[in-house]
Structure 1
């Protein structure tokens, strides 16, 4: 199976991110939306999960995949292409950068933080941006 994780990479906020200070996504009803679940997983446990762990666990929670079915469901989930954390609204809308360490484990950094600035300037890391929310103007 293909490895879908990032290693030694910093994903900065999207060029068209509307905020200058990171915001914590909020649920508006009973069901927690994807960015809330992603935020809770990563912010609550920095450098514990890989991108694959976050993507699949959020999918499994939202689709109520039973614990005993998780292994097979994870294999099926990654058998087809999945959007990576560069498409997450945490980086596109809410102002959070993602740092992936040498083991592929991920942590969040607020765009206004000193640590974000340091990571975004770290030449030892691959530097990429979250996907833009809108198409570039011609």
Structure 2
């Protein structure tokens, strides 16, 4: 199976991100949105999960996949192409950079933070931008 994780990579905030200070996504009514679930998973447990872990876990929760079916469902999920976290609203809309360490584990950094600036200037890691929200 193809590895869909990034390693030693920093996903910068999109060029057309509408905020100048990172915002924490909030649920819409009683339902947690994808960005809320992604934010909670990464922010509450920095460097614990990989991109694949986050993408699949959010999918599994939203689709109410029972724990015992998750290994087989995960394989099925990744057998089709999946959008990476460059498409996440965290970097496109909410102002969060996503750092993938050398093991592929993730942490979030607010665009206005000193740590974000350090990652931007770190020549030992690859940098990619979050996808733009609009074409341009």
Determine whether 1:120 maps to 2:123.
no
Give the deviation of 1:29 after TM superposition.
1.2
- Aligned partners of 1:83, 1:29: CA distance in 2, in Å? 26
Report SS of the residue matched to 2:133: coil
Determine whether 1:75 maps to 2:75.
yes
Structure 2, gaps ≥5 residues long: none
Report SS of the residue matched to 2:70: helix
Structure 1, gaps ≥5 residues long: none
Report SS of the residue matched to 2:6: coil
Q: Which residue in the other structure is 1:11 paired with? A: 11
TM-score by length of 1: 0.98
Give the deviation of 1:30 after TM superposition.
1.4
Give the deviation of 1:101 after TM superposition.
0.3
TM-score by length of 2: 0.99
Q: Which residue in the other structure is 2:29 paired with? A: 29
Please give the root-mean-square deviation of Cα atoms over the aligned residues, in Å: 0.4
Query: Matched residue pairs, number?
Result: 136
Moved over 2 A (4+): none
- Aligned partners of 2:40, 2:112: CA distance in 1, in Å? 19
- Aligned partners of 2:52, 2:64: CA distance in 1, in Å? 18
- What do residues 52-77 of structure 1 show as CA deviations (whole Å, max 9, x unaligned)? 00000000000000000000000000
Give the deviation of 1:126 after TM superposition.
0.3
Give the deviation of 1:121 after TM superposition.
1.0
Report SS of the residue matched to 1:99: strand
